[in-house]
Amino acid sequence: MPGEFEKHTRCWMLWPERKDNWRCDAKPAQKAFALVAKAISQFEPVSIGVSTRQFEAAVRHLPSTITLVEMESDDAWMRDVGPTFVKNQGGDVRGVDWGFNAWGGLNGGLYFSWDKDEKVAGAVMENQKIKGYKAPFILEGGSIHTDGDGTLITTEQCLLNPNRNPSLSKARIETLLKEYLGVETILWLGQGVYMDETDGHVDNLCCFIKPGEVLLTWTDDRSDPQYEISCDALERLSNARDAKGRKLFIHKIHQPGPLYISAEESRGIEQIGQTMQREPGARMAGSYVNFYIANAGIVMPLFDDPRDTEAITIVKALFPKRKVIGVPAREILLGGGDIHCITQQQP
């Protein structure tokens, strides 16, 4: 699995529409997704899977340079329901189609059912005429990051969660990750970002900038539950060696907020029985690490927060050769994830 910072042929997204996850008929989320797609399309082609019902709305929001592909899904998290692309030495690309259970199935999953989501990876590969491998276990793309040089980072909270693959041991999961992604070393972090509804996806906590360098979400506030989580991750990363025997260089980026759902935002979501409830005052797992690395750019979430300026400065310094575009992303965060979670790079 190449690092995200390696060359892409395109970026895949899905169009949001479910009213029980996106407020006000998903209109504000659609605007935010369109801004993300337009920003990424400055750097690489973008394809978006859209349901038949939403096709006209998507056409209205998006420039014709963005390709719309008719595709059904249960929600809009392409990182998690799309294929994870892998590439061999000869440059052949294949997709890995993981099992998906809406982040926990009937034991803490976020909605029921997820049968349309399960078909998204296949639909993307078919669209691109790319062959794939069907992996016999549950995994979401947001729960892994690789450096393209043999190392993968993930969290115990997610991959060892009994609501994912209860019959698989840690050792068996490591073997499967090695087989399907061609990695040699797995670096296990503990928990993901505080209150992350995915059971701690690594893509909200920590990512590779390049082989040997990671960026970790941080807080200086010792009274914030995030402090312990980030300290634990820092310690594990500081003691780690990657697949090439390197010690990691660890950069920190301070979290925004903390950010909470407002009463108005909560009111705008249609509360239907089988979907996660979004109560006013609930803390959101906001993080600047949840950005997308495009070919010559970075598309990063902003939250209209005092920490935004510092976050942009850090990301610009880490990626001096890429143009950094900040996109207002609170509406995406309200749905439970962010820019990285709604995108998937195709090498």
Question: Nearer Cβ to ligand KQY, position 103 or 319?
Answer: 103
145 near ligand KQY, rule: CB under 6 A: no
Structure tokens at 117: 């989501």
- Give the torsion through C-alpha atoms of 319, 334, 285, 162, to 10 deg: -110
| Least CB distance to ligand KQY at residue 295 (A) | 21
In the three-class reduction of DSSP (H, G, I as helix; E, B as strand; rest coil), residue 236 is classed as helix
Question: Nearer Cβ to ligand KQY, position 255 or 320?
Answer: 255
| Least CB distance to ligand KQY at residue 252 (A) | 20
Alpha carbon distance 115, 98 (integer Å): 13
Contact residue for ligand KQY among 82, 211, 326, 335 (CB under 6 A): 335
| Least CB distance to ligand KQY at residue 285 (A) | 8
Alpha carbon distance 323, 45 (integer Å): 16
Q: Is 341 labeled as catalytic in the residue annotation?
A: yes
In the three-class reduction of DSSP (H, G, I as helix; E, B as strand; rest coil), residue 302 is classed as strand
Of the residues 11, 206, 207, 341, only one is catalytic, namely 341
337 near ligand KQY, rule: CB under 6 A: yes
Question: Nearer Cβ to ligand KQY, position 28 or 335?
Answer: 335
C-alpha distances in Å from residue 321, one per residue of 155, 219, 286, 294:
30, 27, 26, 12
In the three-class reduction of DSSP (H, G, I as helix; E, B as strand; rest coil), residue 31 is classed as helix
Instruction: Identify the CA nearest to 290 among candidates 223, 192, 224, 211.
Output: 192
Question: Nearer Cβ to ligand KQY, position 77 or 319?
Answer: 77
Contact residue for ligand KQY among 3, 132, 142, 286 (CB under 6 A): 142
Q: By rule CB under 6 A, what string of x and - marks binding of each residue 174-213 to ligand KQY?
A: -----------------------xx--x-xx---------
| Least CB distance to ligand KQY at residue 261 (A) | 13
* Number of shown-chain residues binding ligand KQY (CB under 6 A): 14
Contact residue for ligand KQY among 12, 22, 77, 100 (CB under 6 A): 77
98 near ligand KQY, rule: CB under 6 A: no
Q: Are 285 and 211 in contact (CB under 8 A)?
A: no
Question: Nearer Cβ to ligand KQY, position 203 or 265?
Answer: 203
| Least CB distance to ligand KQY at residue 102 (A) | 8
Residues whose CB falls within 8 Å of the CB of residue 302, separated by 6 or more in sequence, listed in order: 308, 311, 312, 326, 327, 328, 329
Write phi, then psi, for 33 (nearest 5 degrees).
Answer: -60, -40
Q: Are 306 and 286 in contact (CB under 8 A)?
A: no
Q: Measured at CB, which residue is nearest to ligand KQY? A: 142
Alpha carbon distance 255, 205 (integer Å): 10
Question: Nearer Cβ to ligand KQY, position 77 or 218?
Answer: 77
| Least CB distance to ligand KQY at residue 143 (A) | 7
Contact residue for ligand KQY among 74, 80, 147, 149 (CB under 6 A): 80
Q: Are 13 and 46 in contact (CB under 8 A)?
A: yes
Structure tokens at 7: 């060359």
C-alpha distances in Å from residue 143, one per residue of 2, 92, 168, 275:
15, 24, 16, 21
Segment (H or E) for 252: strand 249-254
- Give the torsion through C-alpha atoms of 36, 37, 43, 49, to 10 deg: 140
Segment interacting with ligand KQY (CB under 6 A) among 27-35, 76-84, 160-168, 213-221: 76-84
Which residues bind to ligand KQY, rule: CB under 6 A? Answer: 77, 79-80, 110, 142, 197-198, 201, 203-204, 335-337, 341
Tell me the catalytic residues.
341
